[in-house]
Structure 1
Amino acid sequence: MTRNHSAAVCKYWLEGRCTRNPCRFLHPKPPGRVWKNPNSYNKLNKENIDCNMIVMKTEQKVLAKTAQTQAKHITNKTDENLVKDDLRSWFGDNGLSVIAQLEGHSKGVTGIVLPSGSNKLYCGSKDKSLRVWDCSNGQCVDVIDFDQECGTLVEKGPWIFAGLQNMIKAWNCETQNTVVIRASGGMVNAINMYEDTLFAGMEDGSILSWKSTSKNSFSEVACLKGHTGSVLSLIVGAKQLFSGSADRTIRVWDAESLKCTHVLNGHTADVTSVICWDQYLLSGSLDKTIKVWAATESGSIVEVYKHDVDNGVLAFCGTHDAEKKPILLCSCKDNGVCIYDLPSFAKRGRIYSRHDVKAIQDGPEGLFFTGDAAGSVSVWKPNGESVSKSRRE
């Protein structure tokens, strides 16, 4: 569908450099509200509960202190004799170094969590296990065996949630209690939380929700219906729940009333990842595109930008560079992770891997983690010397 000039979005505005006033192209703004990035976490604002950061958790001084210890003591487990033609990375004019490679999982890594203030890294996998790594020495200190594959692993508040088949296992880092939450609808592919409400995206297309009744229990309150394909991704922002699905749509739900308010069409394949950045929603799909959505003055949500990538998108994550500028980490079905500036989508660089990277998680002090389809977990640090190393066959 073609647009006239009055309805088209100014591409220079999207890049933050439009100097025309007035401009004949559209500068969309949300109607009296801001899609606050749920990753700029403030303990006093319970809306902002999300661990896939676009804005680092700079308010958490304890986390920053822990990061300095991690960056100093985490050890490099790579073999100096490895072939130097497989894993390459560049980060603008500065290097991006692998400071640790954690081996142990035998199948794909589906989730990575570094709890706030902790020196333990948790990784869930399709090999039916959860491994816990000590960040001070890179050693695996615990293995929790499941009877089934782990579909996702996330941190929300004091909780770590592992999505399994018709079940969620949860660990409270404050009380050390373990809770089993029964579900229905197949594999739990995505988990998120708004205040005391837990959401789970299910294989059958439903979204289940529970209320946290205490530090040790959850009671089911609703089943959100609408998607006709598996729910693959969930994000919460500005009292709204966004769900991406294999049915090629994104649904927008009021996080309090649990009513569906919008259905976003435009992708032509599975919507694998959704995140909030500033007042925008970013969505990635197997159709080889990243779309940016914004609210209009009329209250609708429209696509304002599309970025083409070389292959299907598998996962998103975001962080800041050394100059505190936001960047997007985007893994695709070509065994690579692209690094983009926001909002311009200028390409910073690329990480190459032997296998698809299906899990990305940011950490403190610029650290981030990737988990691939073979079970390897890599710890990356920007501004180190660029490296070129290979994983073992």
Structure 2
Amino acid sequence: MEVDDGPTRVGGKRNYPRSGNPGGAGARSHHPQICRYWQEGRCLKGDDCQWLHPGNPGTTGRGTFLGNGRRASNVIDNRSDNRGGWGTTGEGGFSSGSSSQGRSRNVSARWGRPRNVVGRPSQRERGYTDGSGGGHTQRSTKGKPCNFWLKGNCNRGDDCMFLHAHTTAPDIQMMTQLIGHEKAIRAIEMPQGASQLYTGSQDESVRVWDCTTGQCTNVVQMGGDVGALLSAPGWLFIGLPNEVQTWNVQTSAQQSLSGPKGQVHALAVSEDGLLFAGTQDGTILEWKFNALTHSFEPAASLSGHTGPVITLLFIGNRLYTGSMDKTIRIWDTASGQCIQTLEGHSDVVMDLLCWEQFLLSCSLDGTIRVWAANAAGQLDTTFTHPEDEGQAEPRNGALKMCGCNDGAGKPVLLVSYNDNIVRLYDLPTFSERGQLFSREEVRALHVGPGGLVFSGDSCGTVKVWRWTGVQLAAGGG
């Protein structure tokens, strides 16, 4: 599945602008470019190389490296759950998509790191973790991961100048990798109280994984790219091209909901049985569950977006929608009317998240915006990360978000970017506390119980992470 809007592609292989690759001859005299071979750890020219080797004294690398840039209904439900397998118990201040929690006008959080406060230790000062819980010191002048090591084929060993690690965060570790999908992971779901994990991919399949063994127990061919997965008590919903599939996990009954035009990119559900789908043509379709027929029936169609709807978030009686038209719309689901349009992002709105009384949005423009209600009850931007709006270097686009609590119970925001890195931020300061590395960009993030976090990348790999310090129930993995 591909969604094209000029040079920007949402889904499939990335086609985003990137920086730091060697240009044509003569580039060094004006804007020194990073040596591609040096980045891969195999440049043999050393001081004689005409391209930039950052951090190597006496070479063209006199400057510092420039290029580090800056997701049921894409909201986090961290209710406690006593279950074995990868983990147990998880709770936090990220509200559920079906919550009736209202928006508060008392904006108490102080966003952003104060200018006069010294930040947390750098990655070099903290040291790195190798994914198994152990730490080791940094071997390179910056924390750039070795792409060959991530692929399992770096032959330089201790001589490699790049980082051999899955993460730089000292309090989260990679537990395992789930291998089987052949194309990009688009969605991950672990239903409340279940012992199975569901993953959807552009290889047109949904895989079911046993949370105790980590083994794939079923592969369901869907006949089209899986653009979204969503779980609700007793149900699993799958977004496909031109339809939404519903699975009753108790009776195994299935239903195909027709109506969408093009790929279904996002799904949301309410506690009273309303199902929403964001589609390629910019409309949001709504179905209502009929308890007599045990099926979903068409209820409404919400129109207003001028581009594909990429993300949905349902809180209380409000539906929040983000689109390729660069806007966020707020809908009153009782009347079906759009009650506010939020503008501010300069590129595709990729994901939405609710934390306490705040709405968070991320975009391909590289920013995360924090929205809060003003005195009139309308949402306004209260903080934008990063704060330096005028920087010259292009930012990496932000793709997905999820929120959880760390082992100490502190709120953490995880954001994936199209430089193949998931960055971890403390809230509300947005101080970066570490990074998670993948071979390709991460297009799916999901939080499970017991301090678990799942990430799915564009090469089809699902990584299972867990916060250290989270107490496990008896029999927990």
Per the shorter chain, which TM-score range?
0.7 to 0.9
Q: What pairs with 1:240-319 in structure 2 (closer than 5 Å)? A: 240-308=318-386, 310-319=395-404
What's the counterpart of residue 306 of structure 2? 228
What's the counterpart of residue 216 of structure 2? 140
Q: Please report how far the alpha carbon of residue 90 of structure 1 lies from its aligned counterpart in structure 2 after TM superposition.
A: 2.8
Query: Structure 2 length normalisation: TM-score?
Result: 0.65
> Structure 2 counterpart of 1:56, which letter?
N
State how far apart, in whole Å, the 1-side matches of 2:438 and 2:186 are.
16
What's the counterpart of residue 187 of structure 1? 263
2:462 to 372, 377, 383: 377
Kindly indicate whether residue 214 of structure 2 is the aligned counterpart of residue 198 of structure 1.
Answer: no
> Structure 1 counterpart of 2:354, which letter?
C
Contact 1:196 / 1:212 at 8 angstroms: preserved in 2? Answer: yes
Cα-to-partner distance string for 1:280-319 (whole Å, 9 max, x where unaligned): 1100000010001111111221111000294111111111
> Structure 2 counterpart of 1:279, which letter?
Q
Q: Please report how far the alpha carbon of residue 82 of structure 1 lies from its aligned counterpart in structure 2 after TM superposition.
A: 6.2
Cα-to-partner distance string for 1:178-212 (whole Å, 9 max, x where unaligned): 22111222100000012211100000100000001
State how far apart, in whole Å, the 1-side matches of 2:451 and 2:348 are.
30
Cα-to-partner distance string for 1:105-148 (whole Å, 9 max, x where unaligned): 00000111111121111100000101111111111110000111
What's the counterpart of residue 86 of structure 2? 70
Q: 1:69 to 1:139 in 2, by over 3 A?
A: closer
Q: 1:180 to 1:345 in 2, by over 3 A?
A: same
Contact 1:87 / 1:353 at 8 angstroms: preserved in 2? Answer: no
2:79 to 57, 75, 84: 57
State how far apart, in whole Å, the 2-side matches of 1:175 and 1:352 are.
39
Q: Please report how far the alpha carbon of residue 69 of structure 1 lies from its aligned counterpart in structure 2 after TM superposition.
A: 3.5
State how far apart, in whole Å, the 2-side matches of 1:208 and 1:80 are.
41
Q: Please report how far the alpha carbon of residue 175 of structure 1 lies from its aligned counterpart in structure 2 after TM superposition.
A: 2.7
What's the counterpart of residue 354 of structure 1? 439
Q: Which has the larger radius of gyration?
A: 2
State how far apart, in whole Å, the 1-side matches of 2:426 and 2:226 are.
32
Q: 1:381 to 1:269 in 2, by over 3 A?
A: same
Contact 1:285 / 1:313 at 8 angstroms: preserved in 2? Answer: yes
> Structure 2 counterpart of 1:248, which letter?
K
State how far apart, in whole Å, the 2-side matches of 1:117 and 1:284 are.
29
State how far apart, in whole Å, the 2-side matches of 1:86 and 1:201 are.
39
What's the counterpart of residue 8 of structure 1? none
Cα-to-partner distance string for 1:223-261 (whole Å, 9 max, x where unaligned): 100000000000011311000000000000012222100
Q: Please report how far the alpha carbon of residue 80 of structure 1 lies from its aligned counterpart in structure 2 after TM superposition.
A: 12
Cα-to-partner distance string for 1:341-368 (whole Å, 9 max, x where unaligned): 1111111111111100000000001111
Contact 2:150 / 2:166 at 8 angstroms: preserved in 1? Answer: no
Kindly indicate whether residue 231 of structure 2 is the aligned counterpart of residue 209 of structure 1.
Answer: no
What's the counterpart of residue 16 of structure 2? none
Q: Tell me, what secondary structure is at the counterpart of 1:318?
A: strand
- Tell me the number of residue pairs that the alignment of Structure 1 and Structure 2 aligns: 323
Contact 1:54 / 1:327 at 8 angstroms: preserved in 2? Answer: no
Aligned-pair identity (%): 39
Query: Structure 1 length normalisation: TM-score?
Result: 0.78
Gaps of 5+ in 1: 1-49, 385-393
State how far apart, in whole Å, the 1-side matches of 2:285 and 2:173 are.
40
Q: Please report how far the alpha carbon of residue 276 of structure 1 lies from its aligned counterpart in structure 2 after TM superposition.
A: 1.0
> Structure 2 counterpart of 1:185, which letter?
K
| Aligned-CA RMSD value | 2.2
Q: Please report how far the alpha carbon of residue 158 of structure 1 lies from its aligned counterpart in structure 2 after TM superposition.
A: 2.1
Gaps of 5+ in 2: 1-71, 89-131, 133-148, 158-162, 388-394, 470-477
2:197 to 121, 145, 167: 121
Cα-to-partner distance string for 1:335-392 (whole Å, 9 max, x where unaligned): 01011111111111111111000000000011110000000001001228xxxxxxxx
Q: Tell me, what secondary structure is at the counterpart of 2:224?
A: coil
Q: Tell me, what secondary structure is at the counterpart of 1:311?
A: coil
State how far apart, in whole Å, the 1-side matches of 2:294 and 2:215 are.
30
> Structure 2 counterpart of 1:107, which letter?
K
Kindly indicate whether residue 236 of structure 2 is the aligned counterpart of residue 160 of structure 1.
Answer: yes
Cα-to-partner distance string for 1:313-340 (whole Å, 9 max, x where unaligned): 1111111111212111100111010111
Q: Please report how far the alpha carbon of residue 53 of structure 1 lies from its aligned counterpart in structure 2 after TM superposition.
A: 4.8
Q: Tell me, what secondary structure is at the counterpart of 1:329?
A: strand
Q: What pairs with 1:95-134 in structure 2 (closer than 5 Å)? A: 95-134=171-210
What's the counterpart of residue 250 of structure 2? 174
State how far apart, in whole Å, the 1-side matches of 2:150 and 2:397 are.
31
Contact 1:208 / 1:222 at 8 angstroms: preserved in 2? Answer: yes
Q: Please report how far the alpha carbon of residue 153 of structure 1 lies from its aligned counterpart in structure 2 after TM superposition.
A: 1.1
Q: 1:258 to 1:79 in 2, by over 3 A?
A: closer
Contact 1:274 / 1:316 at 8 angstroms: preserved in 2? Answer: yes
Q: Tell me, what secondary structure is at the counterpart of 2:86?
A: helix
State how far apart, in whole Å, the 2-side matches of 1:80 and 1:51 are.
32
What's the counterpart of residue 368 of structure 1? 453
2:422 to 324, 329, 337: 337
> Structure 2 counterpart of 1:106, which letter?
E
State how far apart, in whole Å, the 1-side matches of 2:356 and 2:444 are.
23
Q: Please report how far the alpha carbon of residue 88 of structure 1 lies from its aligned counterpart in structure 2 after TM superposition.
A: 2.4
State how far apart, in whole Å, the 1-side matches of 2:152 and 2:365 are.
39
Q: 1:145 to 1:316 in 2, by over 3 A?
A: same
Q: 1:80 to 1:105 in 2, by over 3 A?
A: closer
Contact 1:55 / 1:326 at 8 angstroms: preserved in 2? Answer: no
What's the counterpart of residue 95 of structure 2? none
State how far apart, in whole Å, the 1-side matches of 2:77 and 2:189 are.
17
State how far apart, in whole Å, the 2-side matches of 1:355 and 1:227 are.
30
